Structure 1
Amino acid sequence: MSTIIAGHFQLQDEVDQARRALVDAGFSSDRISGFYLSQPGQHDLTPIGGDHIESPGAKETGAGVAQGATGGAAIGVAAGAATSPITGPLGPIVGGLVGAHVGSLFSFSKMKEAGESEQGGHAPVENRMAGMLVAVAFDDAGQEGQAVEVLRRLGAQQIERATGNIVDGDWADFDPSSAPDIIH
């Protein structure tokens, strides 16, 4: 595994300029990778698309909907039974179905808001910015400062450190959903 320094740019011309500058600074061109990075959640890492099989904020949805449906059904059956002299034997059935539906919808109001941290959870993880990413791999720790300086001078908006392998210009073990180690 090599150290990798990566910088985020917005334009393809900036990527080309960064590649040339890194080569001019002595980095091997086959250990430089440039590619487009999609928005978080749009990396198509799962068979159904997206980054995760289940949304991290929706892990308690099933239990909440079931709890709301059960409570709503009980109230609906009671209301239907009270009106059974007017509605007949279908009153408790219809009341239970309507109550279950309303109860399940009410359970959504108890879910967390976007950006709100999980109960007992950790602070939100900073995601990588979408846009063009230029990464350079090296094995000599003394080259890190030089790589950072080149990317900073060229206007990289976010510079991160990682470990991995870039071979023939391909960062094959890059994980777009991992938390970046932002250094500038």
Structure 2
Amino acid sequence: MSLIIAGRFNTFEKAEHASVKLQAKGVTEEDISIVYVTDHGQHARTPIGGDELNDEGSKEAPKGAGKGVVLGVLVGACVGVGMRIGLNAPWITIAIAAAVGGYLGSLSGAMSHTRASRKKSRTSLENFENARQSGVLIAIHAEQTNVDTIIATLEECEAMDIERASGLWQRGAWADFDPTKARCPATRAA
């Protein structure tokens, strides 16, 4: 595994300026890679897009649907019995009312639990201080001897979120880069 130092910029121009400064300090062009990192959830890591196969907010939906279908069947059956007695409707009315109540109950139960779960997941993501932000990422294949120089140059160029990672560097790029992983902040040796 290779030692990689990376920093985030708002524009490609700033990242390219940092690349020129790093090359002036002895870092080769093959040891620098500039990529754009998209927002959380937009990395197309699954066949249908997105980062995960399931939406964070939908994890509790089956529980809500189960509770809702039970409650809905009971309410629907009560309505059906009321229609049978009050309107002298056929017996099938009870079954139809129970089925409709179960269906509507499952939908409302799933939706109510989706809303609550989504609020929890949104706050946990916002509070995650080392979550990777979107922007232009410059990654540098570093050696132990030039880490401080690279970090100082990135700081001088006003890079944000300077991080240190261990990864696979191939053909001038961070080959196993995962934009969904939390970053590990890098600091210079005192």
With normalisation by structure 1, the TM-score equals 0.85
Give the conservation status (yes or no) of the 8 Å contact 2:56–2:117.
Answer: no
Which residue is 1:8 aligned to? Answer: 8
Residue identity matched to 2:120: E
Could you list the runs of 4 or more consecutive aligned residues of structure 1 that deviate by over 4 angstroms after TM superposition?
121-124
Q: Does 1:98 align with 2:96?
A: no
1:149 counterpart = 2:152: yes
Q: What is the letter of the counterpart of residue 127 of structure 1? A: A
| Residues 43-54 of structure 1 mapped to structure 2, 5 A cutoff | 43-54=43-54
Which one of the candidate residues 165, 168, 171 is aligned to 1:165? Answer: 168
Asked whether 1:176 is paired with 2:179, we answer yes
Selected match of 1:130 from 124, 129, 134: 134
8 A contact 2:41–2:50 mirrored in 1: yes
CA RMSD of aligned residues (A): 2.5
CA contact (8 A) 1:136 1:166 kept: no
Contact 1:31/1:167 (8 A) holds in 2: no
Structure 1 residues 133 and 122: CA distance shift in structure 2, 3 A: closer
Shift of 1:45: 0.5
**Cα offset, 1:124, TM superposition:** 5.3
Once the two structures are superposed, residues 70-104 of structure 1 have per-residue CA deviations (whole angstroms, 9 ceiling, x without a partner) of 22112211221222132323422332233223322
Structure 1 distance, partners of 2:53, 2:75, is 34
Distance 2:12 2:19 in 1: 11
Gaps of 5+ in 2: none
Q: Where does the alignment leave 5 or more consecutive residues of structure 1 unmatched?
A: none
Tell me how far 1:164 sits from its aligned partner.
0.7
**1:130-163 deviation digits (Å, cap 9, x = unpaired):** 11100101232x4222211111111112211111
After superposition, the C-alpha distances for 1:106-128 in whole angstroms (9 at most, x for unaligned) are: 3222442545259xx99954421
- The number of aligned residues is 181
Stretch deviating more after TM superposition (159-168 or 11-20): 159-168
Contact 1:32 1:134 in 2 (8 A): yes
Say whether the 8 Å CA contact 2:5–2:186 is kept in structure 1.
no
Structure 1 segment 9-28 matched on structure 2, within 5 A: 9-28=9-28
In the alignment, which of 132, 143, 148 is matched to residue 139 of structure 1? 143
Scaled by the length of structure 2, the TM-score of the pair is: 0.83
Specify the alignment match of 1:116 in structure 2.
120
Instruction: Answer 1 or 2: which has greater helix percent.
Output: 2
Kept in 2, the 8 Å contact 1:45–1:52? The answer is yes
* Mapped partners of 1:173, 1:114: distance in 2: 30
The farther-off stretch of 68-77 and 82-91 is 82-91
